Amino acid sequence: MNNVTREGRINLDKIAMIPSRNNIKKYTIKIDDVLFCNTNSEDLVGKSIVATKEIEKFCFSNHFTRLRANEEIITQKFLYLWLKFHFDIGLFERICTKWIGQAAVQIESLLKLQIILPSLTEQYYAGEYCKTIENNIDEVKVKISNSKALQKSLIKQIF
């Protein structure tokens, strides 16, 4: 659960190894799988990612639901973008079942949601456009980090 950020990114700082089991293939991640966090705190339930090569062949916990779309109707990236948008506007926080310290979006509730679908061409375009923006954000973050490191280095040289 903590490996997926609010921004839909994967964080591999902490990973756990699990013993191999007979049903391991059922939980093995493939590239482009959409993983939807079905159980978490109220404000984090519904965060999602699209699996990349970085986590291919990893396994996911029961706190996630793997979604594989019919790609003749909806692309995986567009499904992710739709989920991300609805996470960002608080839809999943509103529709989740709440307990003390934990919340869940039931699969039945998720399946009842309607998606307005543009053409596949437009879905691919939206996915590529957002990927470009995400890459630009990553580049800016690296530049900011490098700038901060340079600033610290310069301050050390001065003093």
The residue-averaged pLDDT of 76-82 equals: 95
pLDDT tens by residue, 7-59: 777 777 777 777 777 777 888 899 999 999 999 999 999 999 999 998 888 88
* Domain residue limits, the chain: 1-115, 118-159
Residue found by looking up tokens 């919340």 in the block: 103
Residue 101 predicted with pLDDT over 90: no
pLDDT given for residue 2 in this prediction:
67
**Better-predicted residue by pLDDT, 12 or 133:** 133
Q: Which two tokens stand for residue 117?
A: 């679908």
User: Which band of pLDDT confidence, cut at 50, 70 and 90, is reported for residue 1?
Assistant: low
User: Cβ(69)–Cβ(75) under 8 Å?
Assistant: yes
The answer, yes or no, to whether residue 72 has pLDDT greater than 90, is yes
pLDDT at 156: 84
Show contacts of 108-115: CB within 8 Å, 24+ apart: 110/36, 110/38, 110/65, 113/86, 115/74, 115/79, 115/82
Residue 110 pLDDT > 70: yes
| Rg of the chain, C-alpha, whole Å | 18
pLDDT for the residue 123: 96
Residue with more model confidence, 88 or 19: 88
pLDDT for residue 119 is more than 70: yes
Average pLDDT, the chain: 89
The pTM for the full model equals: 0.81
Q: Which fold has domain 1-115?
A: Adenine-n6-DNA-methyltransferase TaqI; Chain A, domain 2 (3.90.220)
Mean pLDDT over 76-80 rounds to 95
pLDDT at 115 over 80: yes
